[in-house]
Amino acid sequence: MASEGRRCIMHLDLDAFFAAVEQRDKPSLRGRPVIVGGLGGRGVVSTASYEARRFGARSAMPTIEARRRCPPGTAFLSGRFEAYRASSAVVMGILRGRSTLVEQVSVDEAYVDLTPPEGPLGWDDADLERWCRDLLAEITEATGGLTASVGLAPSKMMAKLASEMDKPAGVTVVRPGEELEVLHGLSVRAIPGIGPATGARLHGFGVDTVADLARMSEPDLVSIFGTAQGGALHRLSRAEDDRPVVVEREAKSISHEETFETDVVDRGHLESELGRMAQGLARRLESAGVFARTITVKARQHDFTTQTRSGTLPFATGDAGIILREGRRLLGSVDVTSGLRLLGLGVAGLTAHAQEELLLETAYPAAGRVELPDAVGGAGLDEAAGADGEAPRPDAPGEETEPTTEQEHRPLAGRPPPGWRTGQDVRHDEHGAGWVWGSGRGVVTVRFEGPRTAPGPVRTFADDDPALHPADPPEWRDDPPGEG
């Protein structure tokens, strides 16, 4: 049996979400290629609009490669996460109005269990597609024009795959009994957890499609990939996925990464960054009311080779000093002589209790050193975002001027630089609301427009103009919450 045949699971994915929000709020960018992400030489693309995708731009691509592929006039913007969260909250509210079983997995996607009695409909309903179309129309109206795609299937895996089959604004239904027909024709990379390395390894065994994978025996897969991964691949290749929709998802880990503008070889500089990250992680642990047992350091070399080092403590901690001490020790096993382009620090093994830590603090005074166990992990793939540095052009927002010698400060690529960010919401005392078109060499260029205006004029000011202020994201609704 491929899955629990009576379950009706929907996966909803907002289409090109970050870029779509930018085009909604910036009418001059509608119909044009838009890239949202890190704008520096080390930045990566978070989202590419469908107009940009026609030129080969895609998520996770280095921004410099997207610049090479996309035509003049493409807008390269830094992210506005307050704006994205506001639109996401509207969508998730609509979903929760349709079902009590909604699992939000990111800012732009969620699973919804539609199965009665908790859910509103099941496979016996004749108008599943119409119900989905009505939902998508409600989302588009409530978000000022954003679109989403949905997939319906008897399992979470098949629902997610279905939601990707007819983008944008598509509805794909995979009914009970149809899962293998749909799944087996797909690339083996469609299976969750199969990335480039695993895919290449499977290709060496003549496995390129899910059907090829399904023909392999479980003992063979276990002998190649181990018990956990081999068994999971065997089940998923047969569409066996009984994972429930979980209303509240507990965080499994918390991490922070920085991508440097230039490769860093100074271990003192790297340890200083670890200290800042450890403080941030401790604050996030405290805010979540949890403690962590496992500390992980991630290091990416100049040639993109990525190493991770992990250590599991004999206690759970939320103390920044202990997180930093372990992070430094783990970093000590990494060769940094050729320079690191990225450094990350993370915690996992989260728990609500830390009694063992109290006992250890009694045995080891805070000022003393604690010898901690070590373990070695695998490789990661993430890249942080960055700052820009080229001259503005009147047809291409997102191009900033090179800093002068006095301005140079060798910033981290993952940290917003001082001053104005391309795409940032602003308000001018005389001209009203707008957004930063570009900045550099002592000036900032602003386009004055918003989601409910026509494309607006562009004006340039001194970057320290006292009449120009950062602003909240613009309101796209005719009757904002709490008004009317």
Catalytic residues: 109
Angle, helices 227-236 vs 218-225, to 10°: value is 140
Side chain identity, residue 20: A
Q: With H, G, I as helix, E, B as strand and everything else as coil, classify residue 238.
A: coil
Distances (CA, A) of 203 to 181, 198, 217, 246, 404: 21, 9, 16, 34, 50
CA separation for the pair 379, 300 (Å, rounded): 9
CA separation for the pair 259, 386 (Å, rounded): 7
CA separation for the pair 394, 68 (Å, rounded): 19
Nearest Cα to 307, choosing from 243, 357, 380?
380
Q: With H, G, I as helix, E, B as strand and everything else as coil, classify residue 223.
A: helix
CA separation for the pair 248, 258 (Å, rounded): 29
User: Do residues 224 and 207 lie in contact, with contact meaning Cβ atoms separated by under 8 Å?
Assistant: no
Distances (CA, A) of 383 to 37, 257, 259, 390: 11, 8, 7, 21
Strand partners, 295: 311, 347
User: Do residues 208 and 185 lie in contact, with contact meaning Cβ atoms separated by under 8 Å?
Assistant: no
Question: In 10 A of CB 147, how many CB atoms?
Answer: 19
Q: Rg for the chain (alpha carbons), in Å?
A: 25
Distances (CA, A) of 139 to 50, 146, 189: 19, 7, 30
Q: With H, G, I as helix, E, B as strand and everything else as coil, classify residue 37.
A: strand
* Count of positions (residues) in the chain: 484
User: Do residues 253 and 166 lie in contact, with contact meaning Cβ atoms separated by under 8 Å?
Assistant: no
DSSP classification of residue 396: B
CA separation for the pair 262, 83 (Å, rounded): 31
Distances (CA, A) of 182 to 2, 114, 162, 193: 12, 21, 9, 19
C-alpha 324, offset from chain centre = 25
